[in-house]
Structure 1
Amino acid sequence: MRAFVVTGPRRFAVLDVEPPVPGPGQVVVDVERAGVCGTDMEFFSGEMAYLKEKDNARYPIRLGHEWCGMVSAVGEGVDGGWIGTRVTGDTMLGCGRCRRCLGGLQHVCEDRFEIGIRGGWPGALAERLPVPVTALHVLPDTVDAVAGAMVEPGGNALRAVEAANLSPGDRLLVLGPGTIGLLAARFALAHGAEVHVMGLSEPSLEFARGLGAHGAWTSDKLPDLPFDAVIDAANAPGLPSLAVDLVEPGKRVVYIGLAPTPSAVDTRMLVLKDVTAVGILSASPGLAGAIEHYASGAVDPRPLVAAVVGLDEVGEILSGSRPAGAGPGPKIHVDPRA
């Protein structure tokens, strides 16, 4: 089968590789759609932190952890009824034996694999993908391929909104109008919040307004409003501290963006403002909820997808190019069959 392979920093190829064979407890999924995200770009550039610890990740690497498709084969111990089922799945594959996994926290298992990211598990920028059956989530008919490949980022965004602990009418500020930030805005709007977005460029802010944000601002024009929660979904090292400055006393800041360098947060400010700070890693506990929101129509992630390309165009996308005719959204999808 064909697969996109990163062989080193800014080196890549679309190769013919051996197709996966499902092991015990596994299925093979024919990939219908996969998303390209910031983590993939960090692996492509060589800046991804996991590359500094060879037990976590090393080249060559097969990327892709936002995906959907159809089960085409099952391994020993897996019900054959899965064949033909449309699915997406969890990126975080815990060992299943440790205290964290047994407590429902497999996404922070010390020995976890991460599909297309950690431990050498091959990713979804390929025609087929092996997945443990325990990681699968069935997609209802009302969730098409575009939305299906947006479940993983949607699960992250939903978890961030849930961590913000908003009530209807509360005011939320989202830092960063990227995919996670805009999805968080959409989930918060669906829950009745007043949503504001802060970003750098007017086109991205105009796009956020078009998605329903009550306000979208550059930092110099951000109004002096009381924010009941701030979600940092960006990667600027100074924003975690700014989030604490901007949030109302007694409220919450949620960190889901990762800066390339350490960020300073003055814990004295957290204490003196009685602020709760929450970190979010992975979509795992939010996947089912994201599917429910998409299936019901409460949240539509599809406007965020600007274009769909084939495997042969992925290298250009990871290099920073946008396809001709791409829409204004931040997300690029890949159809490995194209």
Structure 2
Amino acid sequence: MSEIPACPSRAIVVDAPGEHRLVERELPEPGPVDVRVRVAAAGICLSDRELYDGHRAPGYVRYPVVPGHEWSGTVEAVGAGVDPALVGRPCVAEGFRSCGTCERCRYGETSLCTAGYAETGFTEPGAFADHLVVPARLLHPLPDGADLRAAALLEPAAVVAAAVRAGRPRPGERIAVVGAGTLGLLAVQWLAASSPAELAVVDPRTERAAQALDFGADRALSPAEADGVSGRYDLVVETAGAPTTAASSCLLPRRGGRVVLTGMFAAGATGIDPVHLSLSQLELRSVFGASSAAWADAVRAFSAGLLDPAPLVTHAFPLERFGEALALVGGGAPGTGKVLLHP
């Protein structure tokens, strides 16, 4: 009797900057401690655009690679050492492949793992594919019937959760969010739940600022208008990663205020004035990715209906139209929000 061939599974492979192909491969099999997920939706973000354009730092990408670090799906198969009850569960999973044994991981700071950088979609196969294999220990199951289209944005939501943990908002505080992209709008939605006395968003794009008001902000400012309210805010959460926003965000808080930087800055960004930083006694934190605890916060908020990323999604494409989808990301076209791939 002839052997039945394995069910094919498609994936987008970026062989080198600017070069991609849609391949058909054998169905990936989970290892003993892994799960195989049928991908439902995968978000494309500026980091994926940087990967494709060759602008990501060499230590943070490994070509050839299947991109895709923002995703949701359903567990389809499990390894021999994994609970079979997970099969059929909707889920997301942490991107950082932390070791779980180094000192930072033992402290719960899994995004600071000292074993070396490894992340789904950058150094490990990602979710721009029909199927994805990930370690079961990184999995976060979702409630039955969860909106998997919206759940694909739980990765940026986890980054926002990490920023909120670092910023420690308290009821009655004045809070500003710099940037109204995906991270910024999720931050506005999350921070609105902390009962601030004022929640402002700073962005030069009027349509994005208007959307921030729908997400819970009560004030929208242009960068020029923000210059006129320096020293006003208790907490500032920067999400834009633009060349000047790290420095300008540190001018917005009151003396003794708090600033959290979540944007990904490129070399040459404007530096923060150390004199202002020290004289103002600012507390400054940065966020890169999200710890397991921040992921748990994001999944819990989403599952409870406190966080709804669905309105951010404006476009969805099949894998075959990856090039078209990628071109939209970072293009600045009005009306373009989060772009998804649907395998």
Query: Under a length normalisation based on structure 1, what TM-score does the superposition of the two structures give?
Result: 0.91
**Greater displacement, 159-168 / 272-281:** 159-168
**Distance 1:143-1:171 versus aligned 2 partners, 3 A rule:** farther
Contact persistence 1:303–1:329 (CA under 8 A): no
Deviation at 1:322?
9.3
Alignment of 1:276 onto 2:283: yes
Question: 102-111 vs 34-43, which deviates more?
Answer: 102-111
Instruction: Compute the displacement of 1:169 (Å).
Output: 2.2
| Alignment of 1:78 onto 2:86 | no
Q: 3-state SS of the aligned residue for 1:168?
A: coil
C-alpha separation in 1, matches of 2:266 and 2:327: 18
Q: Match for 2:137: what amino acid?
A: T
Counterpart position of 2:121 = 116
Deviations 1:67-103 (A, max 9, x none): 1111111112112111111111100111233222233
Higher deviation after alignment, 244-253 or 13-22 = 13-22
Mapping of residues 100-249 of structure 1, within 5 Å? 100-110=104-114, 111-118=116-123, 121-141=124-144, 143-193=146-196, 194-222=198-226, 223-224=228-229, 226-249=232-255
3-state SS in 1 of match to 2:328: coil
CA 1:48 to 1:322, structure 2 compared with 1: closer, same or farther past 3 Å? closer
Q: Which moved more, 1:149-158 or 1:101-110?
A: 101-110
The alpha-carbon deviation at position 142 of structure 1 amounts to: 5.8
Which position in structure 1 is the counterpart of 2:26? 18
AA paired with 1:182?
L
Q: Which among 272, 292, 301 is matched to residue 309 of structure 2?
A: 301
1: CA distance between counterparts of 2:89 and 2:304? 20
Q: Percent identity?
A: 35
Give the corresponding residue for 2:15: 7
* Paired residue secondary structure (1:17): strand
- Is the 8 Å Cα contact of residues 147 and 294 (structure 1) preserved in structure 2? no
1:330 aligns with 2:337: yes
TM-score normalised to structure 2 length: 0.90
What is the aligned length? 328
The unaligned stretches of length 5 or more in structure 2 are 1-8
Which letter does structure 2 place at the counterpart of 1:249? Answer: R
The amino acid across from 2:276 in the alignment is M
Q: How many angstroms apart in 2 are the aligned matches of 1:63 and 1:303?
A: 24
CA offset digits 1:49-70 (Å, max 9, x no partner): 1xx23xx423221101111111
- Give matches, 1:50-89, under 5 Å: 52-53=58-59, 56-89=60-93
What is the distance in 2 between the residues matched to 1:156 and 1:319?
24
Q: Distance in 1 between matches of 2:250 and 2:154?
A: 29
CA distance in 2, matches of 1:185, 1:316: 29
Q: After the TM superposition, which residues 283-298 of structure 1 pair with which residues of structure 2 at under 5 Å, given as runs?
A: 283-284=290-291, 285-298=293-306
The letter of the residue matching 2:241 is N
Name the structure 2 match of 1:36.
44
2 CA distance for matches of 1:127 and 1:26? 17
Shift of residue 143, structure 1, vs aligned partner: 3.0
Output the CA distance in 1 between the equivalents of 2:325 and 2:283.
37
Alpha-carbon distance between aligned partners in 2 of 1:61 and 1:174, rounded to the nearest angstrom:
33
- Runs of 4+ in structure 1 displaced over 4 angstroms? none
Q: For the residues of structure 1 that align with 2:105 and 2:241, how far apart are their CA atoms?
A: 29
CA positional deviation for 1:10: 2.0
Report 1:312-323 matches (<5 A).
312-320=320-328
Q: 1:2 to 1:142 in 2, by over 3 A?
A: closer
Given that residues 40 and 149 in structure 2 are in contact (C-alpha distance below 8 angstroms), is that contact kept between their aligned partners in structure 1? no
The alignment's C-alpha RMSD in Å is 2.0
Q: Gaps (5+ residues) in structure 1?
A: none
> How many angstroms does 1:178 deviate by?
0.6
Alignment match, 2:3: none
Q: CA deviation at 1:321?
A: 6.2
| Structure 1 residues 141 and 74: alpha-carbon distance in aligned structure 2, compared to 1, 3 A threshold | closer
Give the Cα separation in 1 of the matches to 2:47 and 2:329: 16
